Amino acid sequence: MVTMLTLFLDWRVQLSHRRGSGTAWCALAVATGLVLTGCGTESEPIPTATPTSTETAPSTPEPGKSTDAPEPTAEPTTTEPTPESAPPDPAQLINENTEEGAKSAAKYFLEVHNYSFVSLDLDLWDSIGSEECEFCLNTADKVRELLEEKKLLRGGDASIMAFHETEEFVAGVWELKVTLKQTPYAVIDETNTSLEEATPQDWETSIFAEFKNSRWYLLDIG
Reported as a pLDDT band with limits 50, 70 and 90, residue 131 is: confident
CA distance 160 to 110: 8
Average pLDDT, the chain: 76
Model pLDDT for residues 53-91, shown as the tens digit of each residue: 444 444 555 555 555 555 555 444 333 444 457 899 999
8 A C-beta contact, residue 194 and residue 187: yes
Rounded (10°) CA dihedral 167, 98, 100, 162: -10
Reported as a pLDDT band with limits 50, 70 and 90, residue 33 is: very low
Model pLDDT for residues 176-221, shown as the tens digit of each residue: 999 999 999 999 999 999 999 999 999 999 999 999 999 999 999 9
Reported as a pLDDT band with limits 50, 70 and 90, residue 32 is: very low
Kindly report the pTM of this predicted structure.
0.69
55-91 as b/e, with b when 16 or more CB fall inside 10 Å?
Answer: eeeeeeeeeeeeeeeeeeeeeeeeeeeeeeeeebeee
What would the mean pLDDT of 13-20 be, rounded to a whole number? 57
